[in-house]
Amino acid sequence: MKNLVYTTTALCFLAAGTATANEFESELKTLAAGKIAEIATSSEVIDAVRAQNGETGAFNQAKIDELDKTWRAEAEAVDQPMIDTVLERPLSTFLADVQESSDGLFTEIFVMDGKGLNVGQSDVTSDYWQGDEAKWQDTYSNGKGAVHISELEEDDSTQTLQSQVSVTVVDPDSGEAIGAVTFGVNVENL
Amino acid sequence: MPSRAILENSVKVAAKLPALVLGIALLCSAGVGIASYISSANTVKGQAEQRLMALAESSRDSLLELYHGKQRTIEGHVQGKTLRAAYSAFDAAWAKYKDKASATLTKIYVTDNPHPIEERDQLVKAGRKPYDKAHAKHHTPLRDFADANNFPDLLLVNMNGDVIYSARKLADFGVNVQAEAWQNTALADAYKTIVADGNGAVVAYDPEHYPGRDNEATGFLAAPITVGSKTIGMVVYEAPTSEVTTLLGKFAGLGETGETLLLNADGLAMNDSLRTADVSELLSDQFNAPEISASMSGGNTFTRLPDFNGQDVFAAIVPVTAFGQKYAVVVVQAASEVLAPLTTLQIWIFASAIVCALIAGVFGLVTARGLSARISGLGDVMNKLAGGDTKVDVPAQATRDEIAEMAASVRVFRENALERERLEQEQKETSFETARQADAVASLISDFRSEVTEMLDAVYSNSEQMRTAAEELNGVADETAGEASNASSASEAASTNVQTVASASEELSASIQEIRRQVQSTTDIVQSATQAAMQTNTKIEGLAESAQRIGDVVNLISAIAEQTNLLALNATIEAARAGEAGRGFAVVASEVKELATQTAKATEEIEGQITEVQAATKEAVSAIAGITETMSQVDEYTGTIAAAVEQQGAATNEISGNVQDAARGTQDVAQTIITISEKAQVTSSSAGQVLNASTDVNARTTDLRETVDRFLKAVAAA
């Protein structure tokens, strides 16, 4: 029953077509400053991002596109070597643990590097590169303290009414943005 | 006589009457009993029919509701978008695995399923692969749907015949229904019907043994998944057999033996009877009967089935059609239970009939016996009267009925007969009177004579006997007297002896007393001697002590002497040192030394004396102990003597007592003897009297004889 109400509400918002601000914006902002910031500043995240930046800093767009294509193909396939590599990383395990212990609050967590490529993630995503999306652009480019809150939507892969909250990952030594992290938040569990 | 002959050939009233009464009673009881039994039997059967039929019809209605409900649910589900989306997702994901799909996915979702077999549906997300994503997304709604609608399982089958999804992940997950192991199952048939032939409706499969559930009876409902008019796959729901079992497992109104069964057109049971918890009736063919098959094409039937799975039952059969197939709801109850009230009734009717018949029979018998007794009594009297016996008594009648009137008439007959007899008699008597008198007198005389003679003879013999007896008695009395005097002297002798014994025992007693006294005084002496010895002992102890003390003092003196000696020695030395001036002192000193030496000697002597005294004391003590022991021995002996004396005293008393008894005894004997003597005297004198009397009697008898003789002669001559 609850599901139905929320779905209807969400659909109403979507149908309206306007970028109506997320109803839960204030709560999500609080979350972003709280739990989410905690994880974004954890050493597991920062170290992993730094390490990957060392590798992918040199990638050009062509390379990025190639990787993304491979990922998307693999996502539909039975053999998923690239996906498996990323998801078996320690950071991914860490993020999966965080998601599991969040009691259903987080539906997905993924960390992006300086190019917008996935560093680690709690579950498989449909694509590898977020660089062309607002969630990375609005955070990474805006540096420290930036928060991006997406619109509410009924997510296909997680089947919940959720909003994506993204924050910048900042290198504590230099104070500069080195990446971003996105949390899928199940607003029903807020 | 003719009337008597007829009487002997027909049945007596005594038998007819009770037989009649009994017969009527039995007839009435039996009639009523049978009528009421038949009526009740019909009522009971009628009610049973109504009840069972009602139950059957209501079961049928509930079943139809259930089936229709399921059908509507399935149709709704099949037309909904969720099922289609789920099916498409699973189908697409399955295809990605190509020919490894079955093996890989069975491994992940069945073999390596972390949950126990009955909870395998709890696995939602098993990984990241396409199938896993589809499963994560669509499994929960499908499983919840199956749970909510009581479908034990839900399967999705693709156009190839692969079971691409099942909610419970049992043995049939991931198999291909066209494979050899599965091609005889309902799934294979459904696949052929729906996928190959394109049937558009819900198809139902009755429960049958299914390999996918360990050969348990499993039924299915299959429906096509379509987009427009094109079938893209098939969904199979496992039929809710347990729900049907529960629905039909209500035993309200069915007593202890009633149950409801659903049979299909092949006569197989479609539900499990909850009466037997450990046996499953599902798919049993033991419940089929031609009436049931007939009812499926006909209509409601109520009948009796003597062999329904071995039971004799009443059955209400109601046909029902569902999913285009024919079934029958059969509600049965054991005939014995249905007819149970009748058994009780039977017993009651039978019992009452018997009781009534008995009462009537007894009553009839008693009345009949009474009547016939009176009739035959009267008959007897009349027979006797007719035969000339006028002495019979007409019995008195208690009631004033026809028989009493008959008795009165018979009485009149008897009176008349008696009167007639009497008149005849009188006539005869007058003529014979005279002749008779003379004869009578003669006979009187002879009779008298013989009688008297007899009597006198008797008297004579009796008196002779008396005399003889009296003489004998005399003789005996004399003898008795003689014997008595013998006895008397003997008892006197005995008495004297007793006296002697008595005095002897007196003396014995006296001497015993003396001994006792002596013993007592001995004991006393011994006591005082012992006491004296004790006192002596005490005194001697005192002595010993004194000796001891003396010894101590002596020791003291001895010591002093020693000291004095030493002193003297010292003095001598000093004196020597002093030289001339000390010479006088030296002399004194040597004197003192001398004294000390003497003292020492004296003390030695005293010690010697003390030792002697002590030795003497010890001897005295032991001597006294010896004396004491001797005393106690003597005491023992005197004690023994005293006891023996006591015994003797007791014995003597006994002797005395016995002697007394003996003396009394002899007294009694003497008394008795005297009495006997007196009695003998009396007997003697009485016997003498009797002798005289009997002699007298003899003489008188002779006189009497002569007198009678004279009289009789005189009378005979007259």
What phi, psi does B282 have (nearest 5°)?
-55, 130
Please count the other Cβ atoms lying within 10 Å of the Cβ belonging to residue B512: 20
Of B96, B128, B133, the CB nearest to A87: B128
Residue with tokens 């696949």: B191
Q: Which residue of A has its CA nearest to B138?
A: A159
- For residues B618 and B485, the answer to whether their CB atoms sit within 8 Å is no
In Å, what is the CA distance from B602 to each residue of B551, B555, B595, B599, B616? 13, 11, 10, 5, 21
Q: Which of B81, B96, B133 is best to mutate for the A interface (most A CBs within 10 A)?
A: B133
Q: Which of A78, A86, A128 is best to mutate for the B interface (most B CBs within 10 A)?
A: A78
- Predicted confidence at residue B709, as pLDDT, reads 85
- Predicted confidence at residue B148, as pLDDT, reads 95
Burial degree of B62 (CB within 10 A; 0-12, 13-18, 19+): middle
- CA distance linking residue B385 with residue A13, whole number of Å: 140
Q: Which residues contact A50 (CB under 8 A, 6 or more apart)?
A: A171, A178
CB pairs under 8 A between A and B: 23
Q: Which residues contact A164 (CB under 8 A, 6 or more apart)?
A: A135, A148, A149, A150, A182, A183, A184, A185
Token pair in block for residue B598: 């003497």
In B, which residues are within 8 Å of A156 by CB distance?
Answer: 137
Token pair in block for residue B449: 């004579």
pLDDT band for position A7 (50/70/90)? low
Please count the other Cβ atoms lying within 10 Å of the Cβ belonging to residue B79: 12
Q: Strand A177-186 to strand B230-238: parallel, antiparallel, or no bridges (unpaired)?
A: unpaired
For chain B, count helices (H), then strands (E).
Answer: 12, 9
pLDDT < 70 stretches in chain B: 1-11, 14, 434, 718
- For residues B282 and B263, the answer to whether their CB atoms sit within 8 Å is no
pLDDT band for position A16 (50/70/90)? very low
Share of chain A above pLDDT 90, in %: 51
Name the nearest CA neighbour of B158 among B178, B137, B140: B178
Put simply, the chain B residues between 105 and 134 with a CB less than 8 A from any chain A CB are: 128-130, 133
- For chain A, how long is the longest CA-to-CA vector? 51
Contact state of A77 with B97 under an 8 Å Cβ cutoff: no
- For residues B361 and B18, the answer to whether their CB atoms sit within 8 Å is yes
**pLDDT at residue A155 above 60?**
yes
In Å, what is the CA distance from B516 to each residue of A157, B512, B606, B646, B657? 136, 6, 54, 8, 21
- CA distance linking residue B30 with residue B32, whole number of Å: 6
Burial degree of A115 (CB within 10 A; 0-12, 13-18, 19+): buried
- CA distance linking residue B639 with residue B520, whole number of Å: 9
- For residues B561 and B603, the answer to whether their CB atoms sit within 8 Å is yes
**pLDDT at residue A19 above 50?**
no
Contact state of B128 with A76 under an 8 Å Cβ cutoff: no
Name the nearest CA neighbour of B96 among B121, B140, B133, B139: B133
Contact state of A76 with B96 under an 8 Å Cβ cutoff: yes
Token pair in block for residue B234: 């098939």
Helix (H, G, I), strand (E, B) or coil at A170: strand
- Predicted confidence at residue B331, as pLDDT, reads 94
Q: For residue B263, give the amino acid letter.
A: L
Contact state of B128 with A157 under an 8 Å Cβ cutoff: no
Exposure pattern of A71-104 as b/e (b: 16+ CB <10 Å)?
beebbeeeebeebeebbebebbebbbebbeebee
The CATH number for A64's domain is: 3.30.450.20
Rg (CA), chain A: 16
Contact state of B137 with A77 under an 8 Å Cβ cutoff: no
- CA distance linking residue B78 with residue A15, whole number of Å: 28
Helix (H, G, I), strand (E, B) or coil at B323: coil
In Å, what is the CA distance from A169 to each residue of A45, A112, A150, A166? 8, 9, 18, 10
Q: What share of chain A is helix, strand, coil (3-state, %, to 5)?
A: 45, 20, 35
Contact state of A159 with B97 under an 8 Å Cβ cutoff: no
Q: How many domains does chain A have?
A: 1
- CA distance linking residue B21 with residue B572, whole number of Å: 168
Name the nearest CA neighbour of B86 among B239, B233, B238: B233
Q: Which of A76, A89, A107 is best to mutate for the B interface (most B CBs within 10 A)?
A: A76
Domain ranges, residue A26: 2-189
In A, which residues are within 8 Å of B133 by CB distance?
Answer: 124, 157
Q: Which residue of A has its CA nearest to B92?
A: A76
- CA distance linking residue A33 with residue A29, whole number of Å: 6
Q: Which residues contact B274 (CB under 8 A, 6 or more apart)?
A: B245, B246, B249, B251, B259
| Cβ–Cβ contact B72 with A under 8 A | no
Put simply, the chain B residues between 676 and 695 with a CB less than 8 A from any chain A CB are: none
Distance from CA of A106 to the nearest CA of B (A): 16
pTM of the model: 0.57
| Cβ–Cβ contact B95 with A under 8 A | no
Of A83, A156, A159, the CB nearest to B128: A83
Instruction: Compute the residue count for chain A.
Output: 190
Contact state of A78 with B104 under an 8 Å Cβ cutoff: yes
| Residue B288 DSSP code | -
Q: What region, left, alpha or beta, does residue A28 occupy, with left being phi > 0 and alpha being psi -120 to 50 degrees?
A: alpha
Q: What is the DSSP string of B458-484?
A: HHHHHHHHHHHHHHHHHHHHHHHHHHH
Neighbouring-strand partners of residue B269: B263
Distance from CA of B124 to the nearest CA of A (A): 12
Contact state of A159 with B133 under an 8 Å Cβ cutoff: no
Q: Which of B94, B96, B129 is best to mutate for the A interface (most A CBs within 10 A)?
A: B129
- Here the ipTM equals 0.77
- CA distance linking residue B77 with residue B462, whole number of Å: 145
In Å, what is the CA distance from B129 to each residue of A41, A100, A118, A183? 31, 19, 18, 22
Q: Where are the beta strands (DSSP E) in B271-324?
A: 301-308, 311-322
- For residues B573 and B586, the answer to whether their CB atoms sit within 8 Å is no
Contact state of A87 with B97 under an 8 Å Cβ cutoff: no
Of A80, A156, A159, the CB nearest to B129: A80
In Å, what is the CA distance from A32 to each residue of A149, A182, B638? 9, 10, 130
Q: What angle do CA A167, A173, A177 make, to 5 degrees?
A: 30
Burial degree of B440 (CB within 10 A; 0-12, 13-18, 19+): exposed
- CA distance linking residue B363 with residue B21, whole number of Å: 8
Rg (CA), chain B: 73
Interval A19-42 mean pLDDT: 83
Distance from CA of B269 to the nearest CA of A (A): 41
Contact state of A78 with B133 under an 8 Å Cβ cutoff: no
- CA distance linking residue B222 with residue B203, whole number of Å: 5
- CA distance linking residue B74 with residue B223, whole number of Å: 8
